[in-house]
Amino acid sequence: MDKVTIATRESALALWQANRIKHLLIAGDPQLRVDILGMTTEGDQKLETSLAKIGGKGLFVKELEQAMLDGRADIAVHSMKDVPVNLPIGFCMPAILDREDVRDAFVSVKYKTLDDVPNGGIIGTSSLRRESQLRNQFKGVEVKPLRGNVQTRLRKLDEGQFDGIILAAAGLERLGLKARIAQYLSVDVSIPSVGQGALGIECLERRVDICELLSRLDHFPTRTCVEMERFVSRSLGGSCTSPLGAYARFFEDELEMSAFVSLPDGSKCLRVSGVEEGSLDGRSRLEKKLIHELISLGAKELLNEID
């Protein structure tokens, strides 16, 4: 193989992510030519409507998958939090890179922390997951939808449309905007989105050559944790539009995991957590334990109510 084409969205963050993969591939094989195919997805076009109403985050990936099917691209780079928990038949994710910061970040020009925002303060977010946790724990604030790329959201904040906004810390850090972060939200306050902070590389299953090329970029501990999170979401029938989050991590020789399901208005929020040994058996026990606890608390009925 002497050439690889990467399909990516054309936002600054998506292009940063694609270029990171390009540099990693070339570092492994300086003779390899890597091109980037920038694309505008349906999710990027429909910015005036909430993702929950138009099909979820899968709208950010389907055009990239079509480019691979058409032969215009060999791979696609995604934020794993944007990838539906069920990949289309014929696709695979041969590489999930070492995870970066998983936390949500509070950004404001007025306040240093979310606790400082007064009753009636307006917080912007594009995520039902974030919105539901905000409404559950910060009952005095008003949450309003905020779509667009990172720069667009920051501009709306700076124009005074919001008192604060919530973004993924990893995205801000990748774009060199760490200084804009007023507060990192603890994962106990805001359980992250499934796969948050991790980059994944997708390709067609039949492209054995591509799978072999990408396998050296795969980070096993991150893959284990992301797969656990996606398994919990999939088992509950969650989607990219569900107010659901899960976060797994290795801590020394153990696996820790927390998960939640909520109503969008935060009036009911089910949270569970657990610890098991960091083995394959421990992983299986922890997944099953949290799923069982959430189902026992009524998670599936709650998600059906939302649907």
How far is C-alpha 287 from the geometric centre of its chain's CA atoms? 19
Q: What is the pLDDT of residue 40?
A: 80
Spans of the chain, pLDDT less than 50: 47, 51, 54
Cα 23 to Cα 28: distance, rounded to the nearest angstrom: 9
CATH code of 104-185, in short, is 3.40.190.10
Q: Name the CATH superfamily for 231-306.
A: Porphobilinogen deaminase, C-terminal domain (3.30.160.40)
Q: What is the pLDDT of residue 238?
A: 72
Q: Which tens digits make up the pLDDT trace of 198-214?
A: 999 999 999 999 999 99
Q: What is the pLDDT of residue 50?
A: 52
Query: Going by C-beta distance under 8 Å and a sequence separation of 6 or more, which residues neighbour residue 87?
Result: 93, 202
What top-level class would CATH report for the domain 3-97+198-218? alpha beta
Helix (H, G, I), strand (E, B) or coil at 68: helix
Written as six digits, the tokens of 98 are 């070492």
Q: Mind telling me the catalytic residues? A: 82
Task: Kindly state the helix (H) or strand (E) to which residue 241 belongs, with its residue range.
Answer: none
Fold match between domain 104-185 and domain 231-306: no
Q: What is the pLDDT of residue 45?
A: 52
Helix (H, G, I), strand (E, B) or coil at 244: strand
Contact 242, 261 (CB under 8 A): yes
Helix (H, G, I), strand (E, B) or coil at 130: helix
Q: What is the pLDDT of residue 148?
A: 87
Contact 19, 49 (CB under 8 A): no
Q: What is the pLDDT of residue 305?
A: 81
Domain extents in the chain: 3-97+198-218, 104-185, 231-306
| pTM of the predicted protein model | 0.91
